[in-house]
Amino acid sequence: MDQALAGGIAVLDFGGQYAHLICRRIRALGVYSALLPHDTPLGELKRMEVAGVVLSGGPASVYTEGAPKADPHIFEGTLPMLGICYGYQLMVKAHGGEVVRADRREYGRASVKVVDGGGLLDGLGVDRLACWMSHSDSPARIPPSMHVLASSESSPYAAVKLAGSPQFGVQFHPEVSHTEKGQEVLSNFVLGVCRAQKNWSMQSFLRQSVESLSKLDGRVLCAVSGGVDSSVTAALLSRAVGDRLRSVFIDTGLLREGEGEQVRRFLGQELGVNVAIVDATDRFLEGLEGVRDPEEKRKVVGKTFADVFEEFAKDEGPFAYLAQGTLYPDVIESGRSTGPASVIKTHHNVGGLPAGLSMKVVEPLRELYKDEVRELGTLMGLPSTVVEKHPFPGPGLAVRVVGEVTREKLRICRESSRIVERILGEEGLYGKVWQAFAYVGDDKVTGVLGDERKLGYQVTVKVVESVDAMTADWSRLDPRVLERISNAITNEVSEVVAVAYSISSKPPATIEPQ
């Protein structure tokens, strides 16, 4: 990743919630950008030949003990720099100014008046901008070496420039979409001030990845699930190493409908990926017999997956490499984080590398975000049905069948979910929601069919909207769409007599029922 930063922009991560977003916005300008630890030394930045550096925002106060700091040398030289919010306050402090805690926090929209373009705010075509603010601290006095480019009512030093140096600070957040002309401000900095190289595009990423992956010597094993990340990983490796890639699709019996068939058709036949399909349904379902506790179910699925995978690897091996579809946010969240405030999420994916296998891990997507992976998949010819697919939990339907996992409940859950997806697709809503499925438990409710009363299952439909799955809200679907879903499920899935719609957000509920 370091090498890729030559001519690009390093974003030093001070823990701000928008730190990722800065990278994405810069990449949208065609310039490569990545998050680095907040204390990355100047020498290292120079060795990487970065064109400039952005200091992200962060939740700390610059005078607080233990507050994250930058290498003091980065403020001294001529390295182009843009400090945002906390990053800006660090610059003010480093140059002898003063930062104070404001009486009132300033959150939300503020009108900022541009008094001098200074290279950063040039060519915006307006002299007032609606900018997004989110801070408690702000500079009370800027050093004589800084001069004001813009001010707002609460922030007289809303944007500044350091005299004689390509270093800027802004109190507002140019990276959020609520800031008017924010992308132009970033572009002024990245392309105008830093003269960064515009060599980031999915096409160039694809070319470079295939070139570097083709140098792997030895055989590569990749588990595919039918989801977008593993499908793109396998397609990429297949292009790079051809027959030396062996991918395996383990059918756990807990998957969405048609997953195996899709893998066979799109990865196997159309993209020519060498895929083995292993049907381990019986093994998984036997392991789950009598198990009701959700955590226990996860353990059984994880362990069975690892066993089946290990057997396959041993039978078909040896393999020098294991390819995984790890994405950039996973890298950040799984402890290999850059910043002081990154949340460590428990990763509940099944699999992992079984202890008995020794393979080097290859993660070709580790620099990408989900939307970039989708773009790459499209570029490589994966169909939209694969590329646009909703996320699916590793333990699969085992966490959508509440109580014991039986073949009957699995079928009800699978068929009802397929109906939910089909109708959302027909209504043009599938791509607009985060996840949409149905889940089922054990309790039966009374229904009436013709003149006959009949006990049957009640399924609960969940359709949620989210940006990162950390929080989610239920989708306010039109009652007409809900009615279509309900009717279709009760008509097509004979064991179901009633349909409920979940109106819980996360928190307090989670997206998956278990």
Q: Does residue 398 interact with ligand XMP by CB under 6 A?
A: no
Rounded least distance, CB 397 to ligand XMP, Å: 11
For residues 384 and 510, which CB has a smaller minimum distance to ligand XMP in the complex? 510
Which of 380, 394, 414, 421 is the binder for ligand XMP (CB under 6 A)? 394
Rounded least distance, CB 19 to ligand XMP, Å: 21
Q: Does residue 395 interact with ligand XMP by CB under 6 A?
A: yes
Q: Does residue 303 interact with ligand XMP by CB under 6 A?
A: no
Burial of 507 (0-12, 13-18, 19+ CB in 10 A): exposed
For residues 16 and 393, which CB has a smaller minimum distance to ligand XMP in the complex? 393
Q: Does residue 506 interact with ligand XMP by CB under 6 A?
A: yes
- What are 186's two structure tokens? 């970033």
The full DSSP string for 436-461 is EEEEEEEEEEEEEETTEEEEEEEEEE
Of 13-21, 87-95, 393-401, 439-447, which part binds ligand XMP (CB under 6 A)? 393-401
* Binding flags for ligand XMP, 324-353, as an x/- string (CB under 6 A): ------------------------xx----
- The Cα–Cα gap between 504 and 62 comes to 39
For the question of residue 85 being annotated catalytic, the response is: yes
For the question of residue 222 being annotated catalytic, the response is: no
Burial of 4 (0-12, 13-18, 19+ CB in 10 A): middle
> How crowded is residue 320: how many other Cβ atoms within 10 Å of its Cβ?
16
Rounded least distance, CB 512 to ligand XMP, Å: 3
- How would you classify the pairing of strands 360-362 and 321-323? parallel
For residues 184 and 330, which CB has a smaller minimum distance to ligand XMP in the complex? 330
Q: Which residue out of 38, 95, 131, 175 is catalytically annotated? A: 175
What phi, psi does 512 have (nearest 5°)? -75, 145
- What are 158's two structure tokens? 């809303």
Segment (H or E) for 463: strand 452-465
- The Cα–Cα gap between 284 and 435 comes to 25
For the question of residue 38 being annotated catalytic, the response is: no
Q: Which residue out of 95, 173, 415, 512 is catalytically annotated? A: 173
Strand partners, 411: none
Long-range contacts of 474-477 (CB under 8 A, 24+ apart): 474/501, 474/502, 474/503, 474/504, 474/505, 475/433, 475/436, 477/429, 477/501
- The Cα–Cα gap between 53 and 9 comes to 5
For residues 5 and 301, which CB has a smaller minimum distance to ligand XMP in the complex? 301
Helices (H) and strands (E) in the chain, counts: 14, 18
Q: Does residue 229 interact with ligand XMP by CB under 6 A?
A: no
Rounded least distance, CB 469 to ligand XMP, Å: 4
Q: Does residue 393 interact with ligand XMP by CB under 6 A?
A: yes
For residues 191 and 469, which CB has a smaller minimum distance to ligand XMP in the complex? 469
- The Cα–Cα gap between 380 and 123 comes to 38
Which of 429, 469, 481, 488 is the binder for ligand XMP (CB under 6 A)? 469
For residues 27 and 298, which CB has a smaller minimum distance to ligand XMP in the complex? 298
- What are 259's two structure tokens? 């997953």
Size of the site for ligand XMP (CB under 6 A): 14
Rounded least distance, CB 406 to ligand XMP, Å: 20
Of 88-96, 372-380, 419-427, 505-513, which part binds ligand XMP (CB under 6 A)? 505-513
For residues 134 and 342, which CB has a smaller minimum distance to ligand XMP in the complex? 342
Which of 218, 318, 356, 391 is the binder for ligand XMP (CB under 6 A)? 391
Rounded least distance, CB 22 to ligand XMP, Å: 24
Q: Are 252 and 281 in contact (CB under 8 A)?
A: yes
- What are 252's two structure tokens? 């756990």
Q: Does residue 139 interact with ligand XMP by CB under 6 A?
A: no
Q: Which residue out of 20, 23, 38, 85 is catalytically annotated? A: 85
- What are 501's two structure tokens? 């719609």
Q: Are 227 and 389 in contact (CB under 8 A)?
A: yes
Rounded least distance, CB 251 to ligand XMP, Å: 17
Q: Assign residue 299 a region: left if phi > 0, alpha if psi is -120 to 50, beta otherwise?
A: alpha
Q: Does residue 58 interact with ligand XMP by CB under 6 A?
A: no
Segment (H or E) for 473: strand 473-474
Rounded least distance, CB 423 to ligand XMP, Å: 20
Q: Does residue 169 interact with ligand XMP by CB under 6 A?
A: no
- What are 94's two structure tokens? 């480093």
The amino acid present at 263, given as its one-letter code, is V
For residues 380 and 511, which CB has a smaller minimum distance to ligand XMP in the complex? 511
For the chain, how far is it from start to end, CA to CA, in angstroms? 37
> How crowded is residue 440: how many other Cβ atoms within 10 Å of its Cβ?
27
For residues 377 and 393, which CB has a smaller minimum distance to ligand XMP in the complex? 393
Q: Helix, strand, or coil here: 286?
A: helix
Rounded least distance, CB 347 to ligand XMP, Å: 7
Q: Does residue 212 interact with ligand XMP by CB under 6 A?
A: no
Which of 56, 435, 475, 490 is the binder for ligand XMP (CB under 6 A)? 435
Positions marked catalytic: 85, 173, 175
Interacting residue ranges for ligand XMP, rule: CB under 6 A: 298, 348-349, 391, 393-395, 399, 435, 469, 506, 510-512
